[in-house]
């Protein structure tokens, strides 16, 4: 019967039981193998018991699968209180007969072994517990402690093998925890008996920063991620954070988002950055990176969307106060719940964990815009390559979710090479360079849109002015001495204004002179015209006289001829 | 105190409980070995009760039994447990005596 079940199970593909552990079910494409034992191993304090109890409690709470917790070490009261801090009301589940704790305590001091024995008593107790609640899930934590209670390993091994087979026959989805051994996964080589699924938990300290990692060593009959994945144990319990690199097949958005600075949006043809792009703001200290990124967040909230602000240097209160000085009220969005500000020192977690926590927060909060301020904070305490790989994954992740990413980067030099320390330029779709240049004894902020993929944009360096009314960008004065900003610009503008007035006055004067000349000429023309007209009149009179004379002369001649003939 | 009491009254029998699970060869061997040990020692020293956990598995939990067969000496304290088929008579006797004399 069992054989047939197994065969049918294989034919259909392995069925899986959800663990309800955030991230883990995605990683394994559905959880642990149903009706089979899974081994969770790791060194002391790496979260084995928590993993197992989360699996069991979620089963009872969310998937309507009762469970048996078999503890070989801790007392039941301790187990209940351990998970109580994570919000699991295990005692209530026990009262409701959905969970049962079976405490198998063997005291080697009161035990003597004489002759052959088996562990049928354990089997009977497990069967009783399973039947009591109709369990589908069972946790054995930590069965290896039997090895210190009983001295005959040959019997134990045979019995443990028999136990696993028996649990499989009963269709129990089992989690077995085991301590990590030297050179092997478990001290007693339990991995030999569990061939279906082996999960390794690890807790490493590197550069004084600890990171918990999870790896699926094997999972028969199913695809699974093979990387090490960081996981977290915090007030929300156990969560695995898959941060493997994603492909480049993310959806491309055509719509635009505002940067919160109208003058900056105008610089981009189309009125803003594409949604889902990554924008890098780089500049020296005090060039306005944080302020500009706060504007991005403010604009997103203003548009009724959600923004997530990760700050690695400032607390939420500090950011809010500082931004108020440039007329950006972030507090209203924080109160409204559309903006979340998360502050964490770069040294608080390892890089991997930072990334993992950020991804988790992004998935939970579902923002449309994420700010990382500043990413250069990581460069100090990690390898450049690691930082780059982490940011690459962050950028990929945000893109694949259509989330706009705003990254600020502190540069130490703004002259010459425009390379970021983390070597990020190629990852970014848009790069805004913030400069702070000294001219004639004063520093002036400038903004330059170094690149914006897929958008034609202004190539001008704009003067970047922060005031109570927010950020303004002004086209710089393009004079004979190059582009000018600040006081130089004002002086030059003043000079130009004065020159303009002088020029205008001159033009006015010339125009008036010409007008006078014109009028004079016109008067002369009129006088001459009068002479001309008089001459014309004279001429006409003379002609009339001439005609009269000729007519008279003709008449006279006719008269004379008449008279002669007559 | 208890030791003293027992010492003063050697006729008080020691209560032994043998836990088995069904009629398995190991259980049957343990029963046979225990009967032989009792027969070979002075009569009335041990009172033996055999509990088949197959019939009442709840007792396995209540009495914290893991291995089968298990022979339990409840009194005098501390509790002694002997697991196995009790094939070594001398060892069994030694362990039953520990703390009892």
Q: Which of A105, A115, A125 sits opposite B86 (nearest CB)?
A: A115
pLDDT, tens digit (0-9, with 9 covering 90-100), for A115-160: 889 999 999 999 999 999 999 999 998 888 888 888 888 888 899 9
- Residue A7: predicted pLDDT: 38
CB atoms A115 and B53 under 8 Å = no
pLDDT, tens digit (0-9, with 9 covering 90-100), for A178-202: 988 877 888 887 888 887 899 999 8
B76 touches chain A (CB under 8 A): no
- Please tell me the total count of domains within chain B: 1
- Using an 8 Å Cβ cutoff, are A40 and A177 in contact? yes
Q: Give the pLDDT band of residue A242 (cuts 50, 70, 90).
A: low
For chain B, give the percent of residues with pLDDT over 90: 18
A128 touches chain B (CB under 8 A): yes
pTM comes to 0.67
For the cut 80, the answer to whether the pLDDT of residue A210 exceeds it is no
CB atoms B57 and A113 under 8 Å = no
For the cut 80, the answer to whether the pLDDT of residue A419 exceeds it is no
For residue A87, give how far its alpha carbon lies from the nearest alpha carbon of chain B (Å): 29
- Residue A2: predicted pLDDT: 39
Domain assignment of residue B68, given as a range: 2-87
| Helix (H), strand (E), coil (C) string for A345-389 | CHHHCCHHHHHHHHHHHHHHHCCCEEEEECHHHHHHHCCHHHHHH
B44 touches chain A (CB under 8 A): no
CB atoms B67 and A116 under 8 Å = no
Mean pLDDT (chain A) is: 84
Residue A119, φ and ψ in degrees, nearest 5 = -105, 35
A121 touches chain B (CB under 8 A): yes
Give the separation between CA A107 and CA A125, rounded to whole angstroms. Answer: 17
CB atoms B81 and A104 under 8 Å = no
Average pLDDT for A41-61: 89
B85 touches chain A (CB under 8 A): yes
Q: Which of A116, A120, A127 sits opposite B84 (nearest CB)?
A: A116
CA distances (Å), A467 to each of A323, A325, A328, in order?
A: 11, 8, 10
Q: Which of A106, A127, A150 sits opposite B57 (nearest CB)?
A: A127
- Residue A9: predicted pLDDT: 39
- Residue A382: predicted pLDDT: 64
pLDDT, tens digit (0-9, with 9 covering 90-100), for B1-48: 444 444 444 556 788 899 999 888 988 999 999 888 888 877 778 888
Residue B100 belongs to a domain: no
Nearest partner of A434 among A270, A287, A304, A293, judged by Cα: A287
Q: Give the pLDDT band of residue B100 (cuts 50, 70, 90).
A: low
- Residue A381: predicted pLDDT: 63
For chain A, give the percent of residues with pLDDT over 90: 31
CB atoms B83 and A125 under 8 Å = no
CB atoms B81 and A105 under 8 Å = no
Residue B20 belongs to a domain: yes
- Strand pairing report for A273-274 and A256-257: antiparallel
Selected residue with higher pLDDT from B96 and B57: B57
Give the separation between CA A290 and CA A341, rounded to whole angstroms. Answer: 13
The domain that holds B82 is classified in CATH as 3.40.30.10
Q: Which of B21, B24, B29 sits opposite A121 (nearest CB)?
A: B21
- In this structure, the dihedral spanned by the alpha carbons of residues A504, A505, A506 and A512, taken in order and rounded to 10 degrees, is 110
Q: Give the pLDDT band of residue A211 (cuts 50, 70, 90).
A: confident
Give the residue from chain B lying closest to A72, CA to CA: B66
Residue B32 belongs to a domain: yes
- Using an 8 Å Cβ cutoff, are A173 and A34 in contact? yes
Residue B99 belongs to a domain: no
- Residue A418: predicted pLDDT: 52
Give the separation between CA B31 and CA A524, rounded to whole angstroms. Answer: 154
Tokens of A91: 């005692």
Long-range contacts at A2-10 (CB < 8 A, ≥ 24 apart): A2/A168, A2/A169, A5/A171, A6/A168, A9/A35, A10/A221
Average pLDDT for A306-318: 90
For the cut 90, the answer to whether the pLDDT of residue A225 exceeds it is no
pLDDT, tens digit (0-9, with 9 covering 90-100), for A474-519: 877 776 666 677 777 788 888 888 999 999 999 999 999 999 999 9
H helices present in A450-485, as ranges: none
Judging contacts by C-beta atoms under 8 Å, the chain B residues touching residue A126 are none
Residue B94 belongs to a domain: no
| Helix (H), strand (E), coil (C) string for A103-123 | ECCCCHHHEEECCCCECHHHH
Give the separation between CA A79 and CA A237, rounded to whole angstroms. Answer: 14
Residue B38 belongs to a domain: yes
Residue B98 belongs to a domain: no
For the cut 80, the answer to whether the pLDDT of residue A357 exceeds it is yes
Selected residue with higher pLDDT from A237 and A76: A76
- Residue A308: predicted pLDDT: 93
H helices present in A40-152, as ranges: 48-62, 76-84, 90-95, 120-133, 146-149
Rounded to 5°, angle at Cα A90 from A89 and A92: 70
- Residue A249: predicted pLDDT: 58
CB atoms B91 and A118 under 8 Å = no
Give the separation between CA A471 and CA A489, rounded to whole angstroms. Answer: 18
Residue B26 belongs to a domain: yes
């Amino acid at each position: 019967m069992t054989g047939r079940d197994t065969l049918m199970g294989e034919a259909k593909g392995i069925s899986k039981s959800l663990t309800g552990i955030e991230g883990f079910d995605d990683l394994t494409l559905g959880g642990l193998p149903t009706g089979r034992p899974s081994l969770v191993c790791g060194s002391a304090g790496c979260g084995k018991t928590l993993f197992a109890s989360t699996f069991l409690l979620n089963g009872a709470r969310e998937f309507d699968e009762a469970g048996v917790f078999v503890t070989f070490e801790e007392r039941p009261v301790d187990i209940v209180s351990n998970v109580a801090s994570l919000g699991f009301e295990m005692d209530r589940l026990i009262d409701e007969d959905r969970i049962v704790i079976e405490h198998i305590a063997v005291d080697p001091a009161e035990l003597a072994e004489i002759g052959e024995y088996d562990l049928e008593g354990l089997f009977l107790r497990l069967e009783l517990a399973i039947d009591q609640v109709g369990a589908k899930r069972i946790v054995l934590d930590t069965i290896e402690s039997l090895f210190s209670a009983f001295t005959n390993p040959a019997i134990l091994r045979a019995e443990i093998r028999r136990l696993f087979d028996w649990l499989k026959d009963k269709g129990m989805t089992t989690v077995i925890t085991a301590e990590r051994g030297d050179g092997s996964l478990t001290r007693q080589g339990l991995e030999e008996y569990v061939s279906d699924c082996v999960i390794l938990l690890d807790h490493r300290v590197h550069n004084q920063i600890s990171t918990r990692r999870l790896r699926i060593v094997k999972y028969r009959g199913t695809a699974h991620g093979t990387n090490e994945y960081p996981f977290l144990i915090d007030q929300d319990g156990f969560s695995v954070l898959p941060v493997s690199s994603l492909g480049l097949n993310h959806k491309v958005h055509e719509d635009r988002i505002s940067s919160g600075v109208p003058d900056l949006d105008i610089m981009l043809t189309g009125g803003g950055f594409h949604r889902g792009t990554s924008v890098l703001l780089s500049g020296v200290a005090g060039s306005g990176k944080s302020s500009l990124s706060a504007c991005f967040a403010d604009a997103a909230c203003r548009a009724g969307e959600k923004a997530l602000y990760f700050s690695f240097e400032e607390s939420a209160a500090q950011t809010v106060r500082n931004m108020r000085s440039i007329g950006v009220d972030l507090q209203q969005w924080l109160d409204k719940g559309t903006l979340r500000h998360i502050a964490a020192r770069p040294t608080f977690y390892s890089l991997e964990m930072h990334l993992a926590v950020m991804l988790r927060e992004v998935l939970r909060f579902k923002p449309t815009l994420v700010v990382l301020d500043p990413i250069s904070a990581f460069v100090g305490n990690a390898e450049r390559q690691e930082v780059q790989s982490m940011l690459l994954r962050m950028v990929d992740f945000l893109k694949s979710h259509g989330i706009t990413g705003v990254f600020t980067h502190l540069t130490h030099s703004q002259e010459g090479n425009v390379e970021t320390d983390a070597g990020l330029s190629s990852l970014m779709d848009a790069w805004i360079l913030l400069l702070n240049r000294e001219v004639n004894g004063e520093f002036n902020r400038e903004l330059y849109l170094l690149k914006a993929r897929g958008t034609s944009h202004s190539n001008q360096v704009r003067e970047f002015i922060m005031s109570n009314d927010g950020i303004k960008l002004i086209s710089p004065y393009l004079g004979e001495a190059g582009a000018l900003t600040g006081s130089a610009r004002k002086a030059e503008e003043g000079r130009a204004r004065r020159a303009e007035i002088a020029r205008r006055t001159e033009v006015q004067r010339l125009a008036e002179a010409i007008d006078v000349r014109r009028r004079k000429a016109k008067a002369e023309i009129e006088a001459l015209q009068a002479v001309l007209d008089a001459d014309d009149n004279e001429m006409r009179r003379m002609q009339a006289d001439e005609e009269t004379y000729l007519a008279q002369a003709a008449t006279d001649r006719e008269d004379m001829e008449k008279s002669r003939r007559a | 105190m208890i030791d003293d009491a027992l010492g003063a009254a050697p006729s008080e029998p020691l209560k032994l409980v043998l836990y088995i699970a069904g009629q398995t060869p190991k259980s049957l061997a343990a029963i046979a070995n225990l009967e032989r040990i009792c027969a070979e020692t002075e009569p009335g020293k041990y009172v033996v009760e055999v509990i088949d956990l197959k019939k009442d598995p709840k007792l396995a939990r209540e009495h914290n039994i893991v291995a089968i067969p298990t022979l339990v000496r409840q009194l005098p304290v501390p509790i002694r447990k002997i697991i196995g088929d009790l094939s070594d008579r001398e060892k069994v006797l030694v362990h039953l005596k520990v703390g009892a004399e």
